[in-house]
Amino acid sequence: IQSECRLRGSTGVEMEALTAVCVAGLTIYDMCKAVDKAMVIGEVKLLKKSGGQSGDWGIDQ
């Protein structure tokens, strides 16, 4: 699951992007729990951000 957020402003929106991914994962879990109750929601991580006070950042940087 991937999420992309864009904003015209001085603050980042990485928390909103992470929240979107978590909500999507929980929705998929809710739909599939009848099939597999042992299902696991895996790693959630920020891959890249640009702008904001801390500037650009990415896992590959």
List active site positions.
Answer: 30
Q: How many residues does the chain have?
A: 61
**Do residues 53 and 14 make contact, with C-beta atoms less than 8 angstroms apart?**
no
Structure tokens at 42: 């895996």
**Do residues 43 and 32 make contact, with C-beta atoms less than 8 angstroms apart?**
no
